[in-house]
Structures are given as C-alpha cells and as structure tokens.
Amino acid sequence: MRAEAEALVETIKQSMGLLRRHLDVETATRRLAELNAKVENPDLWNDADAAQKIMRERTELEDRLGALARFDAELEDAVTLVELGESEGDTETEQEGITQLKALKAEAERRQVEALLSGEVDANDTYIEVHSGAGGTESCDWARMLFRMYARWAERHKFKVEIVEETAGDEAGIKSATLLVKGHNAHGWAKTESGVHRLVRISPFDSNARRHTSFASVWVYPVIDDRIEIDVKESDCRIDTYRSSGAGGQHINTTDSAVRITHLPTGIVVACQGERSQHKNKATAWNMLRARLYEREMAIREAAASATEASKTEIGWGHQIRSYVLQPYQLVKDLRTGYTSGTPGEVLDGELDDFMEATLAQKAYGGGPVSVEDVE
C-alpha cells in the first residue's frame, strides 16, 4: 500500500487499541451478558427507574462493543479495496478505499474523544439555558439563533429535546429559554458550551445596514439523578408563579401555571413553564435548581478561577468563549482552543461536534484536538 493508506491504517489501529483498553472488552462483554439476562426477566419493569438504567447501560455497551467489531470489519474492507486497486492499477477503486479509511479514522478519533466523557454526570441528560445580553432586540435575536443551534445539534445526535422555559423578547427573539436534552452523554458533550457567545453581523433590524455586535450567555448543567444528593432547604428559596409567555395554547397563557424559584443564598434562578400543570412545572423547577446547585459546586471544586465561572461575571466584551462573524467575513472561532470554521451557517445549524471535541481534548490533554501521541 502507498504511504498515505499505511499511515491511515496505523492511526486507526492505534485509536482502536486505545478504545479497547479504555473499555476493557473482556469485562464489558461479561457485563453485557449479565444485563441481557436481566432484560429477559419478566419482572424487570416492576421498577421502571431501575429498568431504564439497565436498558441505558445495555444500549451503551452494545454500541461501544458493536463499534469495535464494525471498525475491524470496515478496516479490513477498506484495506482490501486499496490493495485490489493497487494490484489492478485501478486508481478509482484505490481512492475509494482511502476515502473509507479517512472516514473510519475520523469516527475512531471522535469515539476516542467521547471516551473522555467519564465524569460523574457526563452520561446524564442536560439542561441548556440561553440568556440574551445587553443590546435589546439584537441580543434577543442572537439568543434565539443560539437556542435553535443547540436544538439542531441535539436533533442531529437523535437526542430528545424539550422546551422547559421560553421568555419572548419585546420585539423579536427571546430574552431567555431553557432546553432539556435527553440522550446518552448529552451533558458530557454540551458542557463545553457554557460561557458567553459573541455575534458580529449586519443587523436585520437596522435600516442603515450597519454592523452590530451582540452577546448572549449559555449555561449548561446536568440533570441530577437519585445517586447524587443535593440538600435544598425550601426556607432558602422564594417561589413565584406567573402567567406563561410561551407557546402552548389558550390554557397555558391564561393561568398562573409557570413557576420561578430563586435560591436566595446563591442568587440562582430557575423557571419552568413547559407544562400546563403548575404542580408539574414546580417539580421540574426543583430538579433544575438541584442541578444548578450541583453544577455550581463542581465548578467551585474544579477551580475558583475556572473559565466557566469567570465567564459568568458579565455578558459582554472580554468574557466570550466563541465569536461568530457573519460580516465582513465568515468565521467562527473558539477563543479557548483556537479552533475555527469558515462556514458559520453550518455551525449555526448545529454542526458543533468539532468545537466540542477540541474543548474536551484541551481539557484532558492541555492542547488542541486529541492525538494518539498525546494519550500515550
């Protein structure tokens, strides 16, 4: 094989070796057999919560073990194509094999980064909260664009998306909104997005077509399950009910079904208006508050001056993690990793994985995109 194909094969094999060691294939195979036996038990769903955890773990192990088996088969197929093309002087077949090797290398590297998601709550569902910054209608519209970007990202991953709260802007866009994203490793990926996001564009609201800069903040925090105990005293909280301003038909807009909880010691505020029932909204708001308090505690433990906490001081200049420039040129740049994209339209349509991978790799290895040399 020519040098390009040999280098690709070597990189893929190294990535697969790292994935096998991280997973511990023998132990994972035994555990999957145990879970399959539990799933066959007719009493499994007597405890719905326990059953769901078993099914999630089983699905994850099937996916990871299945991916390794598929990598082996696809690697062999691609190498066969390259060798066949070389032996018969068929450049097209040889190039097809190399294209398959490149795609396999990209997926192996993505899964290698995903293997870094081993934190206590990385596998959990997550809340993504967006707030407009100073700037009125411009910032509200930018917050709406970000909100859509994360919804599209979640849909690309086949995650389930629910709108928990949405407060419309006075003229356009949103002042704030919260998404609940449900799916394996949803929080592990999305947690990289917390911070201030900056947009530069020709304003559609300016009759003089001037360039404007807008800011919006994004906070990401995990859904907390029963394994993690967070003590919240009701006496430390103020609970307000109000009329929902979001979509949902006549009933949701004519009753005080929305709930806002303010945690007085920390100043954390959460709100929920996704349900018609005030009782359900209140229960969800309490869960959101527990999650926010957990996220706050983790941030404090990691470092008092962590980038996440520092970025929360102000939604404006000097605190952004990423810039999106639509005019006078096209560029999205992450200021933490230096990773860039020249296609803002694709990024705003949910193409965020490369940015997330770069941030995860930097956190784990102190550099840019993860490489085999860094891990070894």
Give 3-state DSSP helix, strand, coil % of the chain, rounded to 5. 50, 20, 30
Q: What is the DSSP string of 216-272?
A: EEEEEEEPP-TTS-----GGGEEEEEE---SSSHHHHHHS--EEEEEETTTTEEEEE
115 — pLDDT class (breaks 50, 70, 90) = confident
How do the domains of the chain map onto residue ranges? 3-114, 126-372
DSSP three-state, residue 185: coil
How, if at all, do strands 195-202 and 320-325 pair?
parallel
One-letter amino acid of 49: D
User: Cβ atoms within 10 A of the Cβ of 79, count?
Assistant: 19
More confidently predicted of 120 and 251: 120
Fold of 126-372: Alpha-Beta Plaits (3.30.70)
Rounded Cα distance between 284 and 279, Å, is 9
- The pLDDT tens digits of the residues spanning 208-241 come to 878 889 999 999 999 886 666 777 888 999 999 9
Does the structure show a pLDDT above 80 at 374? no
- Tokens describing residue 342: 């020249």
Mean pLDDT (whole number) for 13-17? 88
Sequence-ordered strand ranges (E) for the chain: 126-132, 160-168, 174-182, 195-202, 211-222, 237-242, 258-263, 268-272, 320-325, 331-334, 340-341
DSSP three-state, residue 126: strand
365 — pLDDT class (breaks 50, 70, 90) = low
Q: What are phi and psi of 263, to 5 degrees?
A: -90, 105
CB-neighbour burial class of residue 339 (10 A; exposed 0-12, middle 13-18, buried 19+): buried
Domain 3-114 bears CATH identifier 1.20.58.410: yes
